[in-house]
A and B are shown apart, each in its own frame.
Chain A
Amino acid sequence: MNETLNPNSAANVAHSDRIRIDLQLIADMIEPGTRVLDIGCGDGELLGYLTRTKKVDGRGLELSNEGVRNCVAQGLPVMQGDADRDLRDYPDGAFDYAILSQTLQATQRPKEVLSELLRIGTKAIVSFPNFGHWRARFDLMFRGRMPQNPNLPIMWYETPNIHFCTVLDFVALCKEMDLTIERSMVLNEAGSKLSLGSQTRFSNFLGNQALFMLSK
């Protein structure tokens, strides 16, 4: 996998703000002062951080009423809505970055959502749990059970995650859709970046989560 991140970029942020490690990795990909749409923004952790420290013109879309309420109460511009239904309202090229963090696997039509991301945003930043991780393979191969781990804690009958994929599946989809992978990395269970060089097969085996930056 390509590794083009500037390792010092996190240190450039002159703010004592701390956010979840995987969100920090996304934040590090974002140029200051840009227009950002965070889809599935939850309580606004990433969006708030980007607004405060990178002075982005940030917007959010969030499914849960509670999340929306908490975001707006912090002064963040967030709308209630979901990725499958509500992206079509946004005009073409409205954002520099469209972020979809840990949400792709919960959408009805991941492929359509991906193409919407790159219609709305010049770049799309997508992260998802990697079903090709060795523990998922172990669960299926040796336990004969659907994978359950700290990143996928919910039983199959209750999980909102309906479209799982592996890193290789995702790379294949990007190829099919003729999308350019600008950056990619895999993360361990704690959300820290794994340094695995450019071997996608290793990443697919060892990465718990995957993070991609795409463009058309």
Chain B
Amino acid sequence: MSTATNTEKRPPLPGHHMVLGETEKLRLDSGVEFGPFTLAYQTYGELNADKSNAILVCHALTGDQYVADDVHPITGKEGWWSEIVGPGKIIDTNKYFVICSNVIGGCLGSTGPKEINPATGKPWGLDFPVITIADMVRAQTMLIDALGIDMLFAVIGGSMGGMQVLEWCKSYPERVYAAAPIATSFRHSAQNIAFHEVGRQAVMADPDWCGGNYLLEGKKPSRGLAVARMTAHITYLSQPALHRKFGRKLQNRGAITYSFDQDFQVESYLRHQGKSFVDRFDANSYLYITRAMDYFDLSLEYDGRLAEAFQGCKTRFCVISFSSDWCFTTAESRIVAHALNAASCNVSCVEIESDKGHDAFLLDEPDFHMVLSGFIEGAAEGRGLK
């Protein structure tokens, strides 16, 4: 794991950067008035004359703004939702203007713990304020304002992206025509918080984390972050998918070695996942963003009565879950759908049969694509988009 530890020396990442919160700061849930700050974002397609064709895609925990780039600037791979977003695809960039911004607190160009705190001239580290899903969305509204868009045609996202979708609909319903929260929930479950805590403890237990000051110390808590990623990655797959892919197959060897080497293919795979993750992600960002997910509970301010969060919301919803997703189960999605129903919202709720677990929303799932495509086309008709 030999990537540069000093981020200042990196050339700036490609794409747009917008400085926001200069005149009016971003008021965070924690009470901190934050700003100015930068959001790094990508756009695809053209905004139409009446600015009615904008789709905001919200990325997941370790996702980023490079939704549909051919070549990701760090990994060199395709964008994470190239399957869905692009010319002639389900989210057709010939028709829609697609926006995706790196969340505040992220590490791909938006202001986050690895960027420089102007007050000290040093990386923020743990001095970065704790952010929430609502803060991420509030920051996005400032970007959407700056782009001159009143109402988004759609807000779409999976996992943490889906949390942002729900937050948008709760807080800015008049600005969202259609919403697709995918493989997500209105709150993070105890089990999900528990897995995140394991990840964070792994990072913090790495001596190279240096109490959060690793950038100043010229170090990087790669081992801790890799373990965090390995654990999390297991939760994104399903037992059958993992077994189908690896079974008990051995890694480049005929027999077990009676050692702690990576005898099994699944071990090798996980180590690779961990290793490649630390090349593209900042450990402190991981702490902050997992925390934001943990704190998410849309029903909290309504004493658990989720339906009240969506009262009067005119947005069309399509809530999608995957049968083998044990991170964000269909049962959770159904609670969201029922609450939307109780609030008289226009809601579709579909469970897609898949054995690929939580990650199914990123993969080639024809039924999922059929549903999402039908929903978007139906909404486009309703919105009068040709």
Contacts and interface: CB of A to CB of B under 8 A. Distances in A.
Partners in one complex: yes
Interface of A: 57, 59, 65, 68-69, 71-81, 86, 89-91, 94
A35 to B, nearest CB: 9
B378 A75 contact: yes
Contact of A90 (B342, B350, B375, B378): B342
Interface residues of B, number: 28
Nearest to A87: B341
Contact of A94 (B344, B377, B381): B344
Interface of A, secondary structure class, is mixed
Given A68-B350, A69-B367, A89 B341 contact: yes
- Among A65, A72, A74, A89, the one with the most B-chain Cβ atoms within 10 Å of its Cβ is A72
Nearest to B338: A89
Given A69-B350, A91-B344, A75 B375 contact: yes
Interface of B: 316, 318, 334, 337-339, 341-344, 346-353, 367, 370-371, 373-375, 377-379, 381
A72 B341 contact: no
A77 B135 CA distance: 30
A156 B47 CA distance: 59
Most buried by B among A74, A80, A94: A80
A69 B351 CA distance: 8
A77 B341 contact: no
A208 to B, nearest CB: 33
A65 B339 CA distance: 20
B248 to A, nearest CB: 32
A73 B346 contact: no
Contact of A91 (B342, B349, B351, B371): B342
Nearest to A73: B374
Given A65-B351, A65-B353, A80-B350, A73 B342 contact: no
21 contacts: A65-B353, A68-B349, A69-B350, A72-B350, A72-B374, A72-B375, A73-B370, A73-B373, A75-B377, A75-B379, A77-B316, A77-B346, A78-B349, A79-B349, A80-B334, A86-B338, A89-B341, A89-B342, A90-B342, A90-B344, A94-B344
